[in-house]
Amino acid sequence: MIFQPADAGGDEPPPYEPHLAFTAPAWRKLVLYVLNCPFEIGGLGLVEARGQDFLVTDVLLVEQDVNDIATRLDSGAVSALLLQLLESGRDPGELKLWWHSHAHEAPFWSGVDEQTIERFQNDFMLSVVSNHELRFLARQDHYAPRRTTWVWVDKPSDGLESSPEEVEAVRAEIAARTRHVPRDRTRIF
Ligand SMILES: [Zn+2]
């Protein structure tokens, strides 16, 4: 994990660490995606500002290649998602969350994650990483000027009740949108 550099001793107060909350449906989707994929998986989400804090209002799965240790967003799939949002009257400007799961591994910011975060073209981006134990880390990255702020995740609950039909539907959706690719052993973890 990379920690924020310590304040060099100036008079600047430490940056505010925002809270990230979820609507009940958004939380439900996120938890079901995380728990029902045996591999790394990720997607985007819609976020509304709530003062200095944020509320995730929807969680979206995009087409992607996945393997045991990495998930990469397909830029074509992201463009298609932007179009869909526009067509359904939603504001693509709210697409400010990147979420992903490390499956059975601990949540942390890997080299691939840092590269993914660097590539977003946005005024800021919130990133969330989770795993099968539903442990969460979150951060906010600003791009001009570049800085990272740690974010508190307000978990509505540690688990949720889900019906077999709901789990089956989520697994089918994951299977339709992900392509399992062999692990690239030379990739930096
Ligand atoms: Zn990761």
Mean pLDDT across the stretch 161-177?
A: 92
| CB burial string 77-94: b at 16+ within 10 A, e below | bbeebeeebeeeeeeeeb
Mean pLDDT across the stretch 151-170?
A: 89
CA 42 to centroid of ligand 1, rounded, Å? 9
CA 4 to centroid of ligand 1, rounded, Å? 18
pLDDT: is 5 or 182 the higher one? 182
Contact yes or no for 108/95 (Cβ under 8 A): no
CA 188 to centroid of ligand 1, rounded, Å? 11
Non-local (6+) Cβ contacts of 69 within 8 A are 40, 105, 110, 183, 187, 189
In this predicted structure, the answer to whether residue 91 has a pLDDT above a threshold of 50 is yes
CA 68 to centroid of ligand 1, rounded, Å? 11
| % residues pLDDT > 90 (the chain) | 53
CA 126 to centroid of ligand 1, rounded, Å? 14
CA 132 to centroid of ligand 1, rounded, Å? 13
CA 89 to centroid of ligand 1, rounded, Å? 31
* Confidence at residue 184, expressed as pLDDT on a 0 to 100 scale: 56
pLDDT: is 73 or 116 the higher one? 116
Mean pLDDT across the stretch 24-51?
A: 93
CA 6 to centroid of ligand 1, rounded, Å? 24
Q: What is the CA radius of gyration of the chain?
A: 17
In this predicted structure, the answer to whether residue 4 has a pLDDT above a threshold of 60 is no
In this predicted structure, the answer to whether residue 108 has a pLDDT above a threshold of 60 is yes
Mean pLDDT across the stretch 97-110?
A: 94
Total-model pTM: 0.83
pLDDT: is 69 or 166 the higher one? 166
* Confidence at residue 185, expressed as pLDDT on a 0 to 100 scale: 47
Q: How far apart are CA 113 and CA 117, in angstroms?
A: 6
CA 97 to centroid of ligand 1, rounded, Å? 14
Domains of the chain, with CATH numbers?
Answer: 19-180 (3.40.140.10)
CA 135 to centroid of ligand 1, rounded, Å? 13
User: What is the Cβ-side half-sphere exposure of residue 22, based on CA atoms within 13 angstroms?
Assistant: 23
DSSP code string of 82-124: HHHHHHTT--GGGEEEEEEE-TTSPP---HHHHHHHHH--SSE
SS3 60: strand
